[in-house]
Structure formats: C-alpha cells, structure tokens
Amino acid sequence: MPFCEELGAAAGSPFVRDMMIVKFQREVDVLLLDEAELRKKAKGIRSRVAERDMVLGELQHLMAFDSTLQSISELSKIKSCNPKI
C-alpha cells in the first residue's frame, strides 16, 4: 500500500491545496461573470416590459379607433404569450 500512502500525502500537500484554491477561485470568477451577464439581461427585460406597459396604458386612454384597439389587442397578446419578456 505504499501508493495509497503516497497519494494520501500528496492530497494533503500545500501544493495540491494551493492548486485547488486557484482552480476554485477561477470557477468562482467565471460564475460571477455569468451572474453579472444574467443580471444585465434581466434589467433589460424589465425595462422593455415597463416600456410596453406604459405604451399599453397610453393607448388605452386614446380615442378608440379601430387601429388603436387592434394595436392594444396585439400588444396584449404579445405580453400574454411571453410573460417573462
């Protein structure tokens, strides 16, 4: 069993520990970048939803022309089909 003992000693070595710390830190850095990108996309989506809601609200206050009603209907369909957008 000298191989197992040697492997156990290597696993507990400061060099392996330092290598694992660096590896895990790189993984954390990548995950933080991914999180930042997702937050940026989510902010853009929330902004577009707010803009669409504002447009829908303005359209509902206009005089009811056929084209206006059709626009409201179409925008409402888009919103209901894509609730995350």
For the segment 64-75, what is each residue's pLDDT rounded down to a tens digit?
Answer: 667 777 888 888
* pTM > 0.85: yes or no: no
Q: Are the C-beta atoms of 85 and 48 separated by less than 8 Å?
A: yes
64 close to 24: Cβ distance less than 8 angstroms: no
Question: What's the pLDDT at 58?
Answer: 82
The answer, yes or no, to whether residue 18 has pLDDT greater than 90, is no
Lowest mean pLDDT among 21-35, 36-50, 51-65: 51-65
**Shortest CA distance to 64 belongs to which of 52, 73, 77, 76?**
73
Q: Is the pLDDT of residue 8 over 70?
A: no
